[in-house]
């Protein structure tokens, strides 16, 4: 099964819920996935459908069974030990419109009758709703019934209607979509989880623009600092390989990090194998990058033997030799990266002092190649832009901001969302250039 | 002359290359490197032969005209889709980078993506798609623009790589490309008579996308989910677009706006309060001195009048001009002049692009059937 | 109890005053000062008598509960329309200051302006209008909200100054205020039976302003130009509003959006590259030392085994924990901690008000006749 | 004639033109106002109509007369000495919609036929248009004829149609509106003139919000630094007095300046008399404000005499005495302002170093009163906010930004304007507060 187009076993996928929240789930065979109050389903029931399929959880007397909460994909919001009822899944038909419930309701132009409609107006009790939920009723049906029973619904303003329905929908709708875990979804997931600081407050639009401004291509060799736990690297890999190990593209990312090991934890959710990542994502510490050791020094610790000498080694010694040879080769490559490689682009998302860091990294970039630096704060980039502006090796540093403003996209009620997340960060963009020597003095004839 | 100038990184500037010459932020020109040619600016002429063999990104310097001893510079860059967009004349309707990069990101454009773009327009977005996508099918209904774009794409090496451009009114005639159409697509003798577009990313920059949407079913992928983005300046177009998308079974419809802003790094003079006070003190002191001087002069005049033989005196100005000018008032102070203190500030462009277009996104999954056999096989293997 | 708390500047906090108690940015509470009362917060209780007699703006301090020696503070402020708006509960639909101030500015609200506002809503905008305008006629169609607002306006001293509030569905029944209406307007015995509104500024915050617009002709000024602003969240409402304005002879129609943003001043740690390098060196050094130590320990173990009588050794950890921690990793560093370097940055609110409503402005000049007599008189005087 | 509601002689008014440009003109009796390419009219023809009236300039054979360009209200754009033809004016009917021309045109959905439509497509020559203009034809009529003669007009896209019509309208429409010179119009005029730097890049929305946040009222006493040549002061006066000297309001503005005299040039355009301005706008230099002289020192120069002593003075000496007394009283008031006055608000628009300036001025503000500081740059306010944040005399400084985004407000073609001016500035808002002493130690019984 192609994990790029169909839900496959063992794959990490993104599940989006009616509440617009999302969660990452691994499709482990013969297990159950709980979506908390939205219900639960069997992994085996959804695998094989195309990625992007929207399902609805249905309950009928035959299939209802109580299970212990699945331990492998534990959702924080569920209380431990709570029994979740697993339903059947049904693929939703395309004709279902997102807010059909709302469209069927005669909406009034004023809200004279309502000042605080509270719970007392609602004729349908929560118990009634819960029982409806356990019957074979879809989310939209439940909502329609709630509307019917809501005496003053058509007296509410457009806004209170929408707010009310959204709240109800989030509570009772049992639809979910299984999505390919794209870089954008992964970002959305981290934002929903509240990991804003971990990803340096990056927005999808900022990172998308970063990739374009940095001219990321399948065959480039990029220098990168990634303080987002691998998120930025994942975005780059998606542009370069699209989740596929067999495109034949030879692109590489060198990730410079400031700890003992690079933190690229987020890559564990990707569809790339460890071997593939090892080949295309090379990591090196900031110390080893800027103060590389020499091959001579390496050889004090270990010297490769001639083929004949290796052949003469005993079995145990041979194993030791090859282990040490691997270590040696990694370090030789590190030295090469640090001393010889020139890059097709520099991409930085780091909280180190950028006015010192960028000129150090910028030296390693080939002429005419772009440099893009992300920061949560404009002030940091301002300082950096001034530094680069005074350096003839960088052409026209500018600070770029991009903000996406989503609309409530319901016909007849179009307007930008009333609230949204602030932030999203800023980009510094420039190109590496090579300053000219002063041209020779041409003596002009008098 | 097809070159791979947009798809391969090049190290050195070579004869025949398409290069961008950066004169200033707002003035970037595309040239084809030709050893016999010269690039002329108002500041002087840059012979191409001075560029050939140098690395891309090189600054090229010449003495300015008139032999004033000053220098003039340009930078020679290898084009990228983003630089190419900047080099296009401003009057052209362009999909700018904040929009194009968001569309690509949101619709997951990658090496496997098969893109439909209608219309081609200035071709700026086509270059960005071509960099990343598996294949781009671009449609343009205006014959002259089609021809211009086809030529440009050929020269830029896009047609040889992964781009097909077709002359078509997609609202009338849909997206299917057949033998005999006006298109860059080549049909092998004895091969298929039409192309299976199989698109999973559709970008519609058309005045009436609702007329094109019903034609999409014929050309979008049947197995994966396809995404569409309609690019419309007016809100009423968005409304009609949403209506058409809903009618044609597209879902997860959402419209967004992208607001891109650009800032320059600038400096503002730090003007200390103490200096301002000192200036006032200085003015006051000179005023008092002026009054006293005036008194003395009046007295002198009186004495002079009494003594009529005295030689005429040269009158000095009553108030001396101050030497204390902490903020360089009345002089031209260059931003960043080291004789003054400066604070770093960001300055937004004088004129911003407050609106480009509304972006309406939607998705469609045509075939929702399950690959039962594969699932069963996997589970059987697992049980075995 | 009407007080002039919103129209007069007060120096000292006095019994009976309406005051705002500022606990934190998002937590501002209105109280009526009463020497017998206490203001309770989760941090402790503040007796009103500690506030009385102090100047407005005073910080009031108490020891926190439990006698930990720590203090708790609030500030007592005199209400202004803007602070009042901040003190309203968030769930209320409020016209926020970026919108209200722009509307007032654009429509030239001043001491002569006669304002119509419909509906009253939370009354936040009413307070801002009342501060500046000559008179405010506010209309509210919801009976309970009308009663709440009437009471509040009375308590805030607005009714005694320049505000009239009327219970009315203006879409159905227009704006004319007559004797017998449910209104704060008082009609003197034998006086006029209706009010001449004569409004030159109209603010319509209604779901269907198009139903109210035709009624405006009866109440707007006949001699000056009147301006209107309709406040509508959805774009479709704007369209219907423009249609109604055009039909009813309003001109210079323009719709705008106001985008207000608020930033906090914050600090980001300056993390020097050299420190990061030094940390790496430190890690490396400790690793090497650890390996050597391990070698020594292995050797020691071997010796110990040979000499079985040796006393058992206490094992020390192989790698020592570093003392070098330039960025305070693993510890809680308070923003601004003087042991570290900091860069000043602005941080936008975590959640922004990305949309409030669309503002549609238009103008109408009813009587375009000329005051010929006055012109002639002036010219005659000039000639004489 | 009330200059607040009717166009009055000698009054400064704002004239807005079809090009959306505007100019300030004084209504001098028996003179002519030239609007350059838009035509010319006699002042006597428009005086007496309500402010806000929209006029159209008409030409017919009877009234055409050639005049020299009016010297008193010389517009820069007009070439000196060019003869301008003065037309009659006609009040425009309210039924005229702004873009009627456009609404009547069948618009196509594509622009296939047009790649560069250039001048050659247009069948009507400029000469023809100019001759139409001299006939009794309104701007809308001219435009309709242009559209008729424009072969490919209905083949253009919505956008090119609009752009084209707007250009044509600006060129041939002879309408103008005479407006009351409100503070907002004055700002717009300065922006149109390109005096962005002179007014510190202020936008209408920023200054409007400044006035509200500063709680400007008719009866307040405000401390102000105004580096905009009096624009800010004019905005404040408008809120306080609304162009009327007889409201009875007693409000005052103290303007602290850093030169020999305050620059409040812009107030010359206002309807306020010099005497009124002198009474309500008091100016004082930053030196005299922060280092005031003493009454004792003043009295070294001049000592007021007793009433009897004054009566005894000779006529010449009496005049000298009263001149000096006036000087003395001004300086005594300055000392009072500097040493005794407390303010109901502080409003600053200055490019002096704000982190030093604001705490100096803030001391003079009464508790609970707002402080609002405008700056073109957010970075300056950031630094200032940090300073105030660390000072217990200021409560919760925040940086505020407000931006107005105008739409093309034509039904069926609604969209935000494609381009607009960047900038507009930022506000720092806080309240002056009075820190508490530490509360007394209450010994808690053991």
Q: What digits encode the pLDDT tens for the residues D187-205? A: 999 999 999 999 999 999 9
- Residues D312-335: what's their mean pLDDT? 92
The string of pLDDT tens digits covering residues A338-396 is 999 999 999 999 999 999 999 999 999 999 999 999 999 999 999 999 999 999 999 99
- Token digits of residue B364: 């469609």
Nearest CA-CA distance, residue B360 and chain D, Å: 14
Buried b (16+ CB within 10 A) or exposed e, C149-169: bbebbbebbbbebbbbbbbbb
Mean pLDDT of C313-331: 78
Interface list for A 398-437 with B (CB within 8 A): 398-407, 409, 411, 414, 416, 431-437
From D378's Cα to the closest Cα of chain A, the distance in A is 10
Residues A80-136: pLDDT tens digits?
A: 445 567 888 888 875 444 443 333 333 333 333 333 333 333 444 555 555 655 554
Give me the residue label for tokens 């019957």: A135
Cα(B232)–Cα(B257) distance, integer angstroms: 10
User: Is B224 in contact with A344 (Cβ distance < 8 A)?
Assistant: no
Distance CA B138, CA C118 (A): 52
Q: What percent of chain A has pLDDT over 70?
A: 74
Task: Chain B: give the shortest CA distance to residue A185, in Å.
Answer: 9
The chains found to touch B (3+ Cβ pairs under 8 angstroms) are: A, C, D
Phi, psi for B145 (deg, rounded to 5): -65, -40
pLDDT at residue D12, rounded to an integer: 95
State the alpha helices, DSSP H only, in B250-357: 273-306
Q: What are phi and psi of C15, to 5 degrees?
A: -50, 135
pLDDT score of A39: 84
Task: Specify the pLDDT at position A113.
Answer: 33
In 3D space, the residue among C201, C21, C184, C28 whose CA is nearest the CA of residue C108 turns out to be C201
CATH node for B84-261+356-380: 3.40.50.150
Q: Which of C95, C140, C142, C280 to mutate to test the interface with A (most CBs of A within 10 A)?
A: C280
Mean pLDDT of chain C: 92
The CATH code for residues C85-261+356-367 is 3.40.50.150
B208 close contact with D: CB closer than 8 A: yes
User: How many Å apart are CA A346 and CA B121, to the nearest integer?
Assistant: 31
D63-106 tens-digit pLDDT: 444 444 444 444 444 444 455 678 888 888 754 444 433 333 33
| D82 C-beta neighbours (distance < 10 Å), count | 10
Residue extents of the structural domains in chain B: 18-79, 84-261+356-380
Mean pLDDT of A247-269: 95
Q: Does residue C268 sit at the A interface (CB-CB below 8 Å)?
A: yes
Whether residue A153 has pLDDT greater than 50: no
Do C268 and A159 make contact, defined as CB atoms within 8 angstroms? no
Chain segment D105-159, per-residue pLDDT in tens:
333 333 333 333 333 334 445 555 556 555 544 555 555 555 555 544 444 455 5
Chain A residues 101-160 with a CB less than 8 Å from chain B: none
Domains of chain D, with CATH numbers? 12-180 (no CATH), 183-291+344-432 (3.40.50.150)
DSSP tag of C326: T
Distance to chain A for C289, nearest Cα, Å: 15
Show the tokens assigned to D404: 């107005």
Rounded Cα distance, A387 and A375, in Å: 16
CA distances from A93 to B249, B366, D189 (A): 9, 10, 59
B118-135 pLDDT tens trace: 999 999 999 999 999 999
Look at B17-26, B347-356, D434-443 and tell me which has the smallest mean pLDDT. Answer: D434-443
Q: Is the preceding omega at residue A61 within 30 degrees of 0, hence cis?
A: no
Task: Give residues with Cβ within 8 angstroms of B193, minimum separation 6.
Answer: B178, B179, B187
**Chain A contact set for D379 (CB, 8 A):** 379, 382
**Looking at residue A92, what is its pLDDT?**
81
* Residue D208, pLDDT above cutoff 90: yes
Q: How far is A382 from chain D (nearest CA, A)?
A: 10
Min CA distance, A111 vs chain C (Å)?
8
Question: Across the interface, do A382 and B346 touch by the CB < 8 Å criterion?
Answer: yes
Residue D332 pLDDT level (bands cut at 50, 70, 90): very high
Tokens of D219: 């009866």
Give the minimum alpha-carbon distance from A71 to chain B in angstroms, rounded to a whole number: 20
Identify each DSSP E strand in D307-408 by its residue range: 345-349, 370-375, 394-408
> Cα dihedral sign for A241, A55, B375, B373?
negative
- pLDDT at position D113 is 33
With CA atoms as reference, report the closest residue to B206 among B364, B360, B86, B366. Answer: B360
Of D110, D115, D357, the CB nearest to B207: D110
Please answer yes or no on whether B351 and D412 come within 8 Å at the CB atom. no
Q: Do A442 and B264 lie within an 8 Å CB cutoff?
A: no
Q: Specify the pLDDT at position D135.
A: 53
The answer to whether D175 and D92 have CB atoms below 8 angstroms apart is yes
Mean pLDDT of the B51-77 span = 87
Task: Report, as an integer, the average pLDDT of B333-338.
Answer: 95
Closest-CA residue of chain D to B208:
D109
**Chain C residue numbers touching D182 (CB-CB < 8 A):** 108
Confidence at residue D395, expressed as pLDDT on a 0 to 100 scale: 98
Residue numbers in A near B77 (CB within 8 A): 368, 395, 431, 433
The C-alpha of C149 sits at a distance from chain D's nearest C-alpha, in angstroms, of 22
**B93 or A318: which carries more pLDDT confidence?**
A318
Q: Which of residues 298-317 of A touch B (CB under 8 A)?
A: none
CA A417 to chain CA centroid, nearest Å? 23
Q: What is the DSSP-derived secondary structure letter of residue C185?
A: -
Beta strands at D175-180 and C163-167: parallel, antiparallel or unpaired: unpaired
DSSP D202: B
Question: What is the percentage of chain D residues whose pLDDT exceeds 70?
Answer: 74
Is A220 part of the contact surface with chain B (CB cutoff 8 Å)? Answer: yes
**Residue (of C164, C174, C4) closest to C78 by Cα position:** C4
pLDDT at C315: 65
Contacts of B271 (CB under 8 A, 6+ apart): B326, B327, D351, D352, D353
Distance, CA of A306 to CA of B171 (rounded, Å): 70
Q: How many CB pairs under 8 A join B and C?
A: 3
Residue of B nearest to A431 (CA): B57
- Residue among B59, B104, B265 whose CB faces A435 most closely: B59
Instruction: Name the minimum distance, in Å, from the CA of B346 to any CA of chain C.
Output: 13
Q: How many CB atoms lie within 10 A of CB D337?
A: 22
Contact check, Cβ <8 Å, C57/D386: no
Q: Do D404 and C81 touch (CB under 8 A)?
A: no
| Residues paired with A430 in a beta bridge | A371
Name the nearest CA neighbour of A297 among C286, C275, C284.
C284
What pLDDT, on a 0 to 100 scale, did the predictor assign at position B314?
66
**A345 within 8 A of A369, measured Cβ to Cβ:** yes
How many Cα atoms within 13 Å fall on the side-chain side of residue D341? 24
The answer to whether C116 touches C139, Cβ cutoff 8 Å, is yes
Higher pLDDT, C172 or A142: C172
Interface of A with B in 232-251 (CB under 8 A): 238-244, 247, 249
Tell me, rounded to whole angstroms, the distance of Cα A378 from its chain centroid.
23
Q: Where are the beta strands (DSSP E) in D324-379?
A: 345-349, 370-375
Beta bridge partners of D434: C58
Backbone φ, ψ for residue D246 (5° rounding):
-115, 30
More confident residue, A400 or B300: A400
Q: Cβ of C304: how many Cβ atoms within 10 Å?
A: 15
Buried b / exposed e along D213-235 (16+ C-beta atoms within 10 A):
bbbbbbebbbbbbbbbbbbbbbb
Subunit contact D94:C249, Cβ cutoff 8 A: yes
Minimum mean pLDDT range among A20-29, B157-166, B213-222:
A20-29
Contacts of D419 in chain B (CB under 8 A): 351-354
- From the list A408, D400, D411, A415, the residue with the least C-alpha distance to C259 is D400
| β-pairing verdict for D175-180 and B27-32 | unpaired
Q: Tell me which chain C residues have a C-beta less than 8 angstroms from the C-beta of A351.
A: 268-269, 271
Mutate to test the interface with B, among D191, D415, D418 (most CBs of B within 10 A): D415
Mean pLDDT of chain A: 82
Give which of B57, B130, B198, B224 to mutate to test A binding, by max A Cβ within 10 Å. Answer: B57
Look at strands D88-91 and C225-232 and give their pairing. unpaired
How many Å apart are CA C13 and CA C34, to the nearest integer? 11
Integer Cα distance of D49 and D43 in angstroms = 11
Q: What is the CATH number of domain C18-79?
A: 3.10.330.20
Q: What is the mean pLDDT of residues A275-293?
A: 97
D23-66 pLDDT, tens digit per residue, is: 999 999 999 999 887 789 999 999 999 999 999 988 765 444 44
Percent of chain C with pLDDT over 70: 94
Residue-wise pLDDT tens digits, D294-311: 999 999 988 899 888 888
Judge: D291–B236 Cβ closer than 8 Å, yes or no.
no
């Amino acid at each position: 099964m192609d994990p790029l187009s169909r839900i496959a076993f063992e794959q990490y996928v993104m599940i989006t819920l009616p509440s617009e929240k999302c969660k990452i789930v691994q499709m482990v065979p013969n297990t159950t996935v709980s979506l908390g109050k939205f219900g639960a389903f069997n992994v085996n029931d959804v695998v094989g459908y195309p990625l992007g399929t929207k399902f609805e959880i249905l309950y009928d007397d035959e299939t209802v069974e109580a299970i212990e909460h699945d331990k492998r994909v534990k959702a924080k919001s569920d209380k431990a030990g709570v029994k979740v009822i697993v339903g059947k899944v049904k693929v939703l038909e395309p004709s279902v419109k997102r807010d059909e419930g709302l469209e069927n309701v005669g909406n009034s132009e004023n809200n004279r009758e309502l000042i605080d409609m509270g719970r007392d107006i609602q004729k349908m009790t929560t118990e009634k709703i819960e029982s409806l939920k356990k019957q074979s009723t879809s989310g939209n049906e439940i909502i329609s019934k709630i509307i019917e029973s809501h005496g003053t619904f058509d007296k509410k303003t457009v806004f209170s209607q929408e707010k009310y329905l959204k709240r109800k929908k989030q509570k009772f709708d049992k639809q979910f979509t299984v999505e390919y875990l794209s870089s954008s979804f992964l970002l959305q997931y981290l934002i929903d989880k509240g990991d804003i600081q971990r990803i340096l407050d990056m927005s999808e639009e900022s990172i998308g623009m970063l990739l374009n401004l940095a001219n990321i291509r399948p065959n480039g060799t990029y220098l990168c600092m990634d303080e987002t736990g691998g998120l930025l690297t994942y975005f780059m890999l998606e542009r370069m390989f699209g989740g596929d190990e067999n495109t034949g593209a030879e692109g590489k990312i060198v990730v410079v990090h400031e700890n003992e090991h690079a933190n690229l934890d987020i890559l564990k959710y990707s569809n790339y194998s460890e071997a593939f990542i090892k080949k295309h994502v090379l990591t090196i510490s900031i110390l080893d990058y800027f103060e590389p050791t020499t091959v001579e020094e390496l050889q004090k610790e270990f010297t490769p033997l001639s083929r004949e000498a290796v052949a003469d080694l005993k079995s145990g010694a041979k194993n030791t030799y090859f282990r040490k040879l691997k270590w040696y080769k990694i370090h030789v490559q590190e030295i090469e990266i640090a001393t010889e490689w020139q890059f097709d682009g520099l991409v930085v998302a780091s909280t180190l002092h950028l006015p010192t860091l960028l000129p150090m990294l910028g030296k390693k970039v080939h002429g005419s190649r772009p440099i893009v630096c992300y920061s949560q704060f404009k002030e940091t980039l301002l300082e950096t832009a001034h530094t680069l502006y005074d350096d003839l090796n960088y052409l026209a540093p500018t600070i770029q901001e991009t903000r996406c403003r989503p609309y409530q996209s319901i016909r007849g009620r179009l307007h930008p969302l009333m609230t949204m997340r602030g932030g999203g960060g800023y980009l510094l963009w420039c190109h590496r250039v090579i300053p000219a020597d002063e041209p020779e003095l041409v003596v002009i004839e008098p | 002359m097809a070159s791979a100038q947009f798809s391969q990184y090049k190290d050195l500037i070579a004869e025949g290359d398409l290069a961008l010459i950066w004169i200033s932020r707002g003035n970037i020109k595309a040239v084809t490197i030709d050893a016999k040619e010269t690039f002329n600016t108002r500041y002087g002429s840059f012979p191409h032969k001075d560029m050939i063999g140098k690395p891309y990104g090189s600054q090229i310097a010449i003495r300015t005209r008139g032999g004033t001893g000053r220098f003039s510079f340009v930078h020679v860059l290898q084009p990228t889709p983003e630089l190419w967009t900047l080099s296009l004349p401003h009057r052209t309707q362009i999909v700018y980078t904040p929009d194009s990069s968001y569309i690509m990101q949101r619709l997951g454009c990658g090496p496997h993506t098969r893109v439909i773009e209608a219309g081609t327009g200035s071709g700026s977005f086509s270059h960005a798609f071509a960099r990343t996508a598996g294949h781009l099918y671009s449609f343009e209904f205006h014959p002259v623009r089609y021809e211009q774009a086809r030529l440009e794409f050929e020269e830029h090496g896009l047609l040889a790589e992964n781009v097909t451009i077709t002359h078509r009114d997609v609202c009338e005639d849909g997206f299917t490309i057949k033998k005999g159409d006006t298109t860059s697509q080549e049909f092998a003798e004895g091969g298929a008579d039409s192309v299976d577009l199989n698109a999973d990313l559709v970008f519609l920059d058309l005045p009436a996308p609702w007329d094109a949407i019903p034609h999409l079913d014929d050309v979008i992928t049947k197995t994966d989910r396809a995404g569409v983005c309609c690019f419309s300046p007016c809100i009423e177009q968005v409304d009609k677009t949403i209506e058409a998308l809903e009618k044609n079974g597209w879902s997860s419809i959402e419209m967004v706006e992208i607001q891109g802003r650009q800032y320059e790094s600038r400096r503002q003079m730090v003007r200390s309060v103490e200096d301002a006070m000192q200036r006032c003190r200085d003015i006051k002191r000179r005023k008092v001195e002026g009054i006293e001087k005036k008194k003395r002069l009046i007295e002198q005049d009186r004495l002079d009048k009494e003594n009529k033989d005295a030689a005429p005196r040269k009158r000095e100005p009553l108030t001396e001009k101050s030497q204390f000018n902490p903020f360089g008032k009345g002089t031209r102070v260059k931003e960043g002049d080291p004789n003054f203190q400066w604070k770093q500030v960001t300055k937004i462009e004088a004129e911003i692009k407050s609106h480009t277009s509304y972006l309406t996104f939607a998705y469609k999954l045509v075939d929702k059937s399950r690959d039962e056999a594969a699932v069963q096989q996997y589970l059987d293997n697992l049980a075995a």
